[in-house]
Amino acid sequence: MIAVLLFVALVLCYISFRCKRRRLYELAALIPEAPMPIPFIGALQYTINLKDLPYNIMNIIKRFGMFAIEQGGLIKFWAGPVLFVAMTDPTDVEFVLRKCLDKSNIMWLLQTVTGNSGIFAPVHIWVRRRKLTVPAFSPKIINSYTDILIQKCEKLAQRFSKENLVGTGTFKAWSYVSSHTLDTVFDYTKKKKELEDVVDETSNLQNGENYKTVRCFLDNLIVLSRTDDITDIELREEVLTFLFGGTDTTAVTLCNTLKLLAKYPTVQEKVYEEIMQVLGDPTRTITKDDLQQLKYLERVVKESLRLFPPAPILLRKICEETELPSGKILPADTHIFIGIWAAGRDPKHWGPDADCFDPDRFLPDRPTGLFVPFSCGPRNCIGTQFAFMSIKLAITALIRRYKITGEEEKGPAPHMDCSFNIMMKANDDYEIGLEVR
């Protein structure tokens, strides 16, 4: 009798649960199903072998992205009772990134590390954190950091020579580049105590002045935080965000670009010729004004980001029923996978050669698809300008000295064996060679 009553209670609870979510199921039924046949079981097959997990996740991202493009840019899949939607349509993607600011809580594991930092914080916390950190990334502050960045990029180029990596075959560049990008953001292991005696220069920092005592972004954040009453916990969380979002993403983009320049030596020579044309004297130190003239190099970096975005997916959550520009309606409590990798390769928006490496597709007179490797809207990457400057300076420091060598690509579509484990990264740790010019 007890078992019967328990069974009836469970059935009634299930019916009530389904009734309360009737609207969700109605709207979800209008969205095409993803090619994963059985909930949980279909996902489980990808997680049996933990060693192969990153490779399989990347395959899932590609598979879902391409299928979403075929289905008009939107597909759904279920994880038990939770509705997920993979999105690639540029108009819908831009709308969601600009209007739907809540982050999906499926990244709770990473949030336990970074806390309520700018990447994963709920909107009401993020608004304040964004306001506090924006001054540290103002154009004047970033430009004032140019000379230090140039020094660090020169140091990276010299390190390859000092460690006998030039003219001696191939090597794995990842460890060198990632330590370089870490150094550009975070000079030393504790900073707050070191700056206790620094005169409060908040107003000067906001105006881009008087940086003699400030050597890195962490310095800027600490000094700027004094008048805004940032707690040690908040400061720690934002520092972790800078380390997480400002080092590996830049390192991956820099390495991807170097790898592509090795695959396409003709493109590399055009980059070198532009650098020489701007500098005139190959031994002259580059300036921030020179950097603005390296237009072809910027297009190369953008094309690298389009084909191999460090973060191939972005996550958002729909908190209330929302109609998309495409006309589709998403129910409340929908988790969104925004397919940056797929959106950057959609032939409907990038042309039939969407998989090909062509920096000139970013010429001003050529139409392009949605380009959001750093997201867009209010919750876009706050350090985009700094990242581009850092990457362009590093490539300039290397290309003016060395030829980047490696296995040349036989066709216009580059192949790079990548896995996704927080970032999308090449499995060979970016094996390249350097030769003196």
Per residue in 314-358, pLDDT (tens digit) is 889 999 999 999 999 999 999 998 989 999 999 988 999 999 999
Residue 52 is classified by DSSP as: G
**Every domain of the chain and the residues it spans:** 22-130+310-343
Q: Give the CA distances from residue 211 to residues 120, 180, 206, 291, 313, in Å, rounded to whole numbers and listed in that order.
A: 31, 22, 11, 21, 37
How many Å apart are CA 271 and CA 298, to the nearest integer? 10
- Region 431-437 average pLDDT: 96
Whether residue 436 has pLDDT greater than 80: yes
Query: Sorting pLDDT into bands at 50, 70 and 90, what band is 404?
Result: very high
Q: Which residues make Cβ contacts (< 8 Å) with residue 252, sequence separation at least 6?
A: 308, 310, 423, 424, 425
Q: Do residues 148 and 215 touch, judged by C-beta distance below 8 A?
A: yes
Helices 248-263 and 232-246 pack at an angle, to 10 degrees, of 10
What does the angle CA 93 – CA 99 – CA 104 come to, to the nearest 5 degrees? 75
381 is in an annotated binding site: yes
Q: What does the block give as tokens for 318?
A: 């729909």
DSSP codes joined into one string, 322-356: EE-TTS-EEPTTEEEEEEHHHHTT-HHHH-TTTTS
For residues 155-175, average pLDDT: 95
Q: Which is more confident, 229 or 50?
A: 229
The average confidence (pLDDT) of the chain is 82
Largest CA distance in the chain: 92
Question: What is the number of H-type helices and E-type strands within the chain?
Answer: 20, 11
- SS3 category, 82: strand
pLDDT at 29 > cutoff 80: yes
